[in-house]
Amino acid sequence: MERHPSGAEQTKRLLALSRLSPCRILDMGAGDGESLALLNSLGFDAVGIDKAGGNGVLRGDFLCSPFPNGSFSAVLSECAFFVCGEPFAALCEAARLLQKNGKLLLSDVYFGEQDEAIELIEKAGFRVLDFADETAEWKRYYIECIWNGTADELACAKGKKCGYYLAVCERT
């Protein structure tokens, strides 16, 4: 089962929205390396970091990564930042790792209003270039996870509105 809604197709959609050419890119919260493998197959110089590590993914905490400031032209994060418990810290770490005008490609579930998500991203030092509501896709994915018995792995925030968004941002 895909680890995020629409799997590789969603990653390709983010890449298309960003208009990125192959460059040095970090996948923060890379999981089992599915997106990392896709990025490398498309000609990107892709590196991944995740607590689990393995399959070419560096084992580590993406909130405090070992890379120097400005190491990457782009950062990708799928279903990691807003569910990690410290979304602002994750956004700030991405800003630190990006070169000026570097791109953040984000697809994530957010527990709160859309405007709040955009405000948090901007507060971390990004300009939002594109923002798309993909909540309908998230609902399909979540129902599939319930059906397959894997929904317990997904974060839920009782009593809060849940949305799923794609965002392409630029470090200011």
Task: Give the up-direction half-sphere exposure of residue 87: CA atoms within 13 A in the CB hemisphere.
Answer: 21
pLDDT score, position 139: 62
Closest CA to 18 of 72, 67, 75: 75
Q: Tally Cβ neighbours within 10 Å of residue 86.
A: 12
Greater model confidence, 22 or 2: 22
Q: Model confidence over 66-109: pLDDT tens digits?
A: 999 999 999 999 989 988 889 999 999 999 999 999 999 999 88
pLDDT, averaged across the chain: 87
Q: Write the single-letter amino acid at 171.
A: R
pLDDT score, position 143: 57
pLDDT score, position 82: 86
CB 29 within 8 A of CB 84: yes
**Rounded mean pLDDT, 51-74:** 94
- What whole-number distance in Å separates Cα of residue 123 and Cα of residue 108? 17
Q: Which residues contact 90 (CB under 8 A, 6 or more apart)?
A: 28, 62, 63, 77, 80, 81, 84
CB 44 within 8 A of CB 22: yes
**Rounded mean pLDDT, 11-22:** 94
To which CATH superfamily is domain 7-171 assigned?
Vaccinia Virus protein VP39 (3.40.50.150)
Structure tokens at 117: 């998500």
